[in-house]
Amino acid sequence: MKERSVRLGVDVGGTFTDVVLVSAGDVTTAKVPTTADQSEGVINGIRTACEAADVKPESIDSFRHAMTVATNAMLEGEGAETALVTTEGFGDLLAIGRQDRPSLYDLSARKPTPLVPNEHRYEIEERATESGIEKGASDSDLADLLDEIDETVESIAVSFLHAYAQPDNERQVADVLRTETDAYVVASHEVLPEFREYERTATTVAAAYVTPIISEYLGRLERKATALGMPAPEVMQSNGGIAETDQIRDQAVTTVLSGPAGGVVGASLFEEDTHEGIITFDMGGTSSDVSLVRNGAIERTTEGSVGEYPVHVPMVDIETVGAGGGSIAWIDEGGALRVGPQSAGAEPGPACYGKGGTEPTVTDASLLLGYLGAETELGEGLTLDGDASQDAFEQLVDASSLDSPIEAARGTYRIANERMARAVRAVTVQQGHDPREFALVAFGGAGPMHAAALAESLGIETIRIPLANGVLSALGLLAAPERHDASQTIHELLGTVDLGTVEGTYATLGDRVSKDVTDPENATMVRQADLRYEGQSHELTVEVGEPFDRKSVSEQFHDAHERARGYRLTDEPIEIVTVRLTATISGDKPKIAHEGTEKKVRERRNAYFDGSFRETPVFEREQIHAGATIDGPAIFEGGESTVVVKPGWTATVDMQGTLTLQETEREER
């Protein structure tokens, strides 16, 4: 494989588009505003980074991209005009959904508006069971369907009962629609050949809803990149793997968590074998994302969602909480201090931004507590107004029983940390893992400022903060592997399932992913299976060997169940529900070099630690030389974020510029 000399990663966020360009070990980063047509912001960012690095766009060997096009389309209701063709009697499935309530005790709670309105849901008189076709679609029904479909429909989802096992009827109707209409057509057995009718249909509808939008966007971006002499983009999928543009056009729903997945992949570069794994902690302006990497493997799920819409494709397992730098502090009806999930956003932003915001936020609290300074630059020349933060918290004090703005700021900071700690517990303790056995990798604009306090509350003793932490999702794109997933429900008892059927299904899945992977001979195939005790409603996924061995798979499932649920039932029958196969080709970890020049204190300011303000040195992070060790309390500024090192912690800089924070002493706090 040709060694790539100039590599580019571009991640589009809600406010900024992040760019990382790596050339001969030198890393150049850029942040530019995200534009309505995201491709324009991407090209602006590329030009900015190339100019800063003195690199011509045509010399770029690899261009990788993460985007929010699919996510925004679903959350904002701006996807394609979509129709659903389904089995007679199942037209209201999307509206009915599951019995789960968004808020258990809220009698006025409403389910999300289906992506397909009632007038665009069409029913076909066909029927299949798990074991065979009972009735096919008639020619007259197909003719009526073609007459009924509205001319405004841009995309059509086809999802029939039991099509995961018997797809012939679905395939017949999809073929007719592809021949006789100009719409994009997506069939459920192609998107998600798994049982559970609602989730399969909802995922197929989501795929149809975003496919035209993604296809058009990638076409625009590819044309603009080609005009600059660059290669076509490779795209990050929700599963943390890269795929080529043509494949993404056919599998657009796999990009719904494209950006956050890149951040987890970037954080995984900083895992070391001194711990069981790492907890990734990405704190931005509105929310915080937390995930887990164990023994080099990113935790994934097949039961994800976008907003309130289920999307059951493989994706990085990310826990999101509404606590970010812009989260607003407020007083509830009982007089208690609360933080978020409301956010000041980018406009008007926190009070200290001086853009018209008047409500106190987590960022305002950090400014009053001295973690940020009046001269701290947060990007694009933005400096902070401490008087505005003071006024905002004084208003909060007037509306509460709090004694002072400092007390209110301290409470805001601690509550935000506790909300993020709950997210960490959700991916560790609730999944049978001890967070104290992991290191914390903190990134995002606000993550490094809260990392030490968060780690302290969870008993975590090691924190790693990459140099390019504010654009880590873009950096992660460069290291991401190529990855393709396939699955098939078979639903049998493990003790009696025909092993030939299992092996035959894996072979079929292997043929499917081999068509997508760019270099099948160098691809690694990983086999998994979803299992459960008979009578359970949810499964656990375990890795299985080749050939499939009942005893080994059974033991792996018992162990996984005990770790996740706290018990094992060795005498209970086990069901094998779905088999999965993943093909990967390893990515190339970017080579990053950091030297630095000095260990000089830029300034000193008072910062709040352990109940009082203490004079704290402030360092220019990018100037600290490799090998330097600094005891807390200390603050590092520069780049895209601020790092707070608490008393009792020590920060060390390595050859890549990564700060490693170690807790050296634990006090009663």
Query: Is 21 contained in some domain?
Result: yes
Note the pLDDT tens digit of each residue in 554-601: 999 999 999 888 899 999 999 999 999 999 999 888 777 677 677 778
Q: Do 401 and 426 fall within a single domain? A: no
| Integer Cα distance of 438 and 294 in angstroms | 9
Q: Do 364 and 474 fall within a single domain? A: no
Report residues of the chain scoring pLDDT below 50. Answer: 1-3, 667-669
H/E stretch holding 135 reads strand 133-135
Query: Is 551 contained in some domain?
Result: yes
CATH number for the domain that contains residue 572: 3.30.1490
Q: Do 193 and 340 fall within a single domain? A: no
Q: Do 148 and 125 fall within a single domain? A: yes
Query: Is 429 contained in some domain?
Result: yes
Report field, pTM of the whole predicted structure over 0.75: yes
In contact, 656 and 624? CB cutoff 8 Å: no
Note the pLDDT tens digit of each residue in 255-301: 998 888 999 999 998 888 888 899 999 988 778 899 999 988 899 99
Note the pLDDT tens digit of each residue in 471-497: 888 999 999 999 999 999 999 999 999
* Residue located via tokens 């090998």: 627
| Integer Cα distance of 454 and 447 in angstroms | 10
Tokens representing 564? 């996740």
- The pLDDT assigned to 381 comes to 59
DSSP string, 53-119: HT--GGG--EEEEE--HHHHHHHHT-S--EEEEEETT-TTHHHH--S--SSTT-TT--PPPPSS-GG
Q: Do 61 and 134 fall within a single domain? A: no
- The pLDDT assigned to 669 comes to 43
- The pLDDT assigned to 379 comes to 57
Q: Do 533 and 623 fall within a single domain? A: no
Q: Do 405 and 442 fall within a single domain? A: no
% the chain with pLDDT above 90: 70
Query: Is 269 contained in some domain?
Result: no
- The total number of structural domains in the chain stands at 6
Task: Give the number of C-alpha atoms closer than 13 A to the C-alpha of residue 253, restricted to the C-beta side.
Answer: 29
| Integer Cα distance of 139 and 145 in angstroms | 10
Q: Do 545 and 632 fall within a single domain? A: no
Query: Treating both helix axes as pointing N-terminal to C-terminal, what angle do 139-148 and 168-180 enclose, rounded to 10 degrees?
Result: 50
- The pLDDT assigned to 101 comes to 72
Q: Which DSSP letter does residue 337 get?
A: E
- The pLDDT assigned to 180 comes to 95
Q: Do 620 and 572 fall within a single domain? A: no
Cβ neighbors of 189 (< 8 A, separation 6 or more) are 163, 164, 167, 170, 171
Residue (of 465, 414, 419, 415) closest to 444 by Cα position = 465
Query: Is 518 contained in some domain?
Result: yes
Residue (of 113, 120, 117) closest to 145 by Cα position = 120
Structural domain of 659: 601-663
Q: Mean pLDDT for the chain?
A: 91
Q: Do 607 and 474 fall within a single domain? A: no
Beta strand 288-294 with 297-298: parallel, antiparallel or unpaired?
A: antiparallel
In contact, 237 and 259? CB cutoff 8 Å: no
Q: Do 120 and 157 fall within a single domain? A: yes
- The pLDDT assigned to 380 comes to 56
| Integer Cα distance of 174 and 179 in angstroms | 9
Q: Do 141 and 284 fall within a single domain? A: no
**Cβ-count burial 613-625 (b if 16+ within 10 Å, e if not):** eeebbbbbbebbe
Query: Is 361 contained in some domain?
Result: yes
326 φ, ψ to 5°?
A: -95, 5
Burial class, 338, CB count within 10 angstroms (exposed 0-12 / middle 13-18 / buried 19+): middle
Query: Is 596 contained in some domain?
Result: no
Tokens representing 18? 């992040």
CATH number for the domain that contains residue 297: 3.30.420.40
**Domain final position from 362, 382, 415:** 415
Residue (of 67, 61, 33) closest to 221 by Cα position = 67
Bridge partners for 615 per DSSP? 606
- The pLDDT assigned to 666 comes to 59
- The pLDDT assigned to 1 comes to 39
Query: Is 593 contained in some domain?
Result: no
